[in-house]
Amino acid sequence: MKLPRYYTVLYNIKAQLGLGNGLGLSSYATATSTATRESKWKGSMHTLFRRISPMGNPNVSIVPLLNQWVEEGHPVDKQQLQRFIKELRFFSRFTHALEISMWMTDKRYLNITAADAAVQLDLIAKVKGIEEAENYFSYIPEKIKGLEVYSALLNCYSNVKSTDKAEATMQKMRDLGLARTTLVYNSMLKLYYKTGNFEKLDSLMHEMEENGITYDRYTYCTRLSAYADASDHEGIDKILTMMEADPNVALDWVIYATVGNGYGKVGLLDKALAMLKKSEEQIKEFGELYKKAVKVLNNGYRNVISSLLKLDDLESAEKIFEEWESQALCYDTRIPNFLIDAYCRNGLLEKAENLINHEKLKGREIHVKSWYYLATGYRQNNQIHKAVEAMKKVLAAYQTLVKWKPSVESLAACLDYFKDEGDIGGAENFIELLNDKGFIPTDLQDKLLDNVRNGKSNLETLRELSRG
């Protein structure tokens, strides 16, 4: 087996076991910490989270549900709400986490702490963008602008690769005596790694050493990954030696795989395979124990299914989907959507239809993209009438806040169908719906309808609109 393929297979094994990513940060949600958190939820607050949990669509606000909870006379506990926020962040449900956080302070008039402000800052950056986060930061009371808040701001800049602002914030933290944790330095290391400023990594790590700030797993892995990306095998050897000498850092499959990949890039295939085989051995030894001890949650299933589909392993993806359904976890529309998309791309339209019907029978909301995948599949298989009906469902379910939009080819195909059928009324209704959803301006409606009446295609008209 060639080394790149071996490396891919190794990471596919990792995905199916629900282990971490290349920098040692968990890419999989597991039930270990979740169970611990849920056990701390008390009384009716557990019921409240059970109401919130199924609402997976970020475009559907949970604020009305929170208000209703209060109107019903139920108590509200700040610590419990903070655990809700932690749980939602754990599942990358940042919009709903932000809604609870803002509701706590704006509606319930609860005193905001430094930790609350740091969480809100992070969530605002993720949901609304860095400028909104900066604006929020400017209004945070100075008395709570300490390590937590500045660390959150620094991490926000790191996430959006804003080097100048991150460096200015880091210097401000130095001046205030706040640059004293490994986490702070790791944010900068992450930024320099992501932006390719590898020469700054060593000086930052040297600063950590001078200030008595210990390296952790993330620190080592970031530098190790940078050396691997730069094909610097001497640098890889140096970091590996440092890690082996550090009693607080355990070498595991992630590190061996990263080292192996780096060796492979410089042509040291024997050393690369030795490292990758060590990594694989650790995964196999740990795998069964892991699966027995830890219940993989939605994030894990999403990653497994998407990885399998990238390898065109539809059969295995279906088996994982069946396993997910058997776990009775909170519903995540993205998981069936992976399969619906794959079915439609491969012309398996009956399977896609059956899965959508299966979801409807369970009372689940069908996501707008599910209908779009189906519409695209129908169009590509010349089932234009069905494509039009599915596209109508897309437009009916579409919300203007969604960043995604259907392709102009799909919309033009629907209008061409009305043209070919001589269905002027149907075309008019469809065009009005396009206008209502913000896809076309009002002054373009007549032109599109005239094209239908005159037997002309609307493809170029819609393409010009998308380019403009």
Please report the pLDDT score of residue 98 as a whole number. 95
pLDDT of residue 468: 59
State residue 437's pLDDT score: 81
Question: Between these two residues, 90 and 296, which has the higher pLDDT value?
Answer: 90
Compute the distance between CA of residue 397 and CA of residue 404 in angstroms, rounded to an integer: 13
SS3 at position 78:
helix
* Whole-number Å distance between alpha carbons of 329 and 310: 24
Residue 27 has pLDDT above 80, yes or no: no
Mean pLDDT value across residues 400-406: 64
CA distance 36 to 397: 37
Instruction: Write out pLDDT tens, residues 433-454.
Output: 888 888 888 888 888 888 888 8
Closest CA relative to residue 24, chosen from 309, 221, 234, 295: 221
- β-bridge partners, 30: 296
Q: Where are the domains of the chain?
A: 405-467
Q: Look up residue 90 and give its two tokens.
A: 């754990």
Greater model confidence, 298 or 241: 241
Where does residue 63 fall: left (phi above 0), alpha (psi -120 to 50 degrees), or beta otherwise?
A: alpha
Tokens matching residue 216: 């952790």
**Of 246, 205, 208, 209, the residue nearest 222 (C-alpha):** 205
105 is written with which tokens? 């302070």
3-state secondary structure of 232: coil
Q: How far is CA 161 from CA 23, 86, 166, 185, 303, in A?
A: 17, 25, 8, 15, 25
Question: Over the Cα atoms of the chain, what is R_g?
Answer: 26
Q: How many CB atoms lie within 10 A of CB 248?
A: 9
Report residue 205 as tokens. Answer: 């790590």
DSSP three-state, residue 406: coil
Q: Average model confidence (pLDDT) for the chain?
A: 82
As given in the structure block, the two tokens for residue 68 are: 């209703």
Other C-beta atoms closer than 10 Å to the C-beta of 60 total 13
Residue 18, sorted as left (phi over 0), alpha (psi -120 to 50) or beta, turns out to be left
Which DSSP state fits 30? B
pLDDT digits (tens, 9 = 90+) for 156-177: 999 999 999 999 999 999 999 9
Cβ-in-10-Å burial (0-12, 13-18, 19+) of 325 comes to: middle
